[in-house]
Structure 1
Amino acid sequence: MGSHEADATRDVITGTFSINLIPVKNLFDSDAMNSFIFKAMLLKLSYCLKNVDDRDIPIELPTRSVVHCPRVYKDVPIKIKGKEFMSNLIEFELGDLDIILGMDWLCRYNGEIRCHSLENDSGRACNPLEAWKTETH
């Protein structure tokens, strides 16, 4: 899914956050079981992607076809609103997005996607990340 499809879908949230001060386009997707990183981001982030697990990971797409992903990047530091969240990201072709955070990430950090109100009191759209809340244990 690309950012244009995500913008047209009501059950996902897009936004921008940083990994080691590099802005990344993100999709929070409660339909995705795993979290992913786009191959093009790997060059930009190579200095902070130290823990790599090379293995074949079959991922079933919504079309029921299977894509084989070659590796997992572990303990990637994602910063949202000043807090750092260590994340495991599977290398994948994501279109024009940089990162997809799925249910594995949302469950790990007790994340909530609150889509019911993305407008503030003035009637303007809010930043989608403002509508997202997480608590760490």
Structure 2
Amino acid sequence: MGQEEAVADPIVVTGTFLLDNSYACILFDSGAERSFVSHAFKHLLKCKSQPLIETFTVEMANGKKEITNNIFIGCTLTLNDHSFPINLMPVSIKSFDVIIGMDWLSPNRADILLLRKSHPSQSTLGRNSHSLR
């Protein structure tokens, strides 16, 4: 999925946010099982890469499969002045620096609020849940 397609898709949210103190173009995708970082952006991460116990096969949006055997553990995602730990697997992504999937959205109780994208809105953070608009 490219940036233009993401803008038109009502079930994803995109934006520029801080990841390990570097600005990243991020796609929040409730259809993605895991969270990923592009090979181009991974060099900006301050968190350490660790080998996976087992290789992980990622099916890309175009149907191609890619194998990854590393994960960046304990990166810091900053949303509305709140810091959240996130783990990211490096894969070949061209349109975004990072794709955040359900492995992060679910444990952090983040909801992607489906709004008409032509209406500006402010992000809100609740006590125990987080809303992405």
- For normalisation by structure 2, the TM-score amounts to 0.82
- Give the corresponding residue for 1:53: 51
Alignment pair present for 1:41 and 2:36 = no
Where does the alignment leave 5 or more consecutive residues of structure 2 unmatched? none
CA contact (8 A) 1:114 1:131 kept: no
Shift of 1:61: 3.4
Deviation at 1:56, TM superposition (A): 2.2
| Corresponding residue for residue 4 of structure 1 | 4
Overall identity of the aligned pairs, in %: 25
Indicate the SS of the match to 2:10.
coil
Amino acid at match of 2:101: G
Write out per-residue CA displacement over residues 27-60 of structure 1, whole angstroms, 9 at most, x where no aligned residue. 1101000000011111222xx1225225521112
In the alignment, the residues of structure 1 paired with residue 86 and residue 6 of structure 2 have an alpha-carbon distance, to the nearest angstrom, of 22
Q: How many residues align?
A: 128
> 1:93-115, CA deviations, whole angstroms, 9 ceiling, x for partnerless residues?
11120111101110010010001
Partner of 1:81: 80
After TM superposition, give the deviation of residue 21 of structure 1 in Å. Answer: 2.2
1:8-32 residue CA offsets vs partner (Å, 9 max, x unmatched): 2121110111023211110110100
Superposition CA RMSD, Å: 2.4
CA distance change for structure 1 residues 62 and 21 in 2, over 3 Å: closer, same or farther?
Answer: closer
Q: Which residue of 1 aligns with 2:31?
A: 31
Query: Is the 8 Å Cα contact of residues 36 and 90 (structure 2) preserved in structure 1?
Result: yes
CA distance in 2, matches of 1:95, 1:42: 13
Structure 1: which 5+ residue stretches go unaligned? none
SS across alignment from 1:43: helix
Q: Which amino acid aligns with 1:87?
A: I
- Distance in 2 of aligned mates of 1:118 and 1:85: 25
Give the aligned partner of residue 18 of structure 1. 18
Report the counterpart of residue 126 of structure 1 in structure 2.
Answer: 121
TM-score by length of 1: 0.80
Change (3 A) 1:131 1:81: closer
SS of match in other structure, 1:108: coil
Specify which structure has the higher proportion of helix: 1
Q: Which amino acid in structure 1 is aligned with residue 32 of structure 2?
A: A
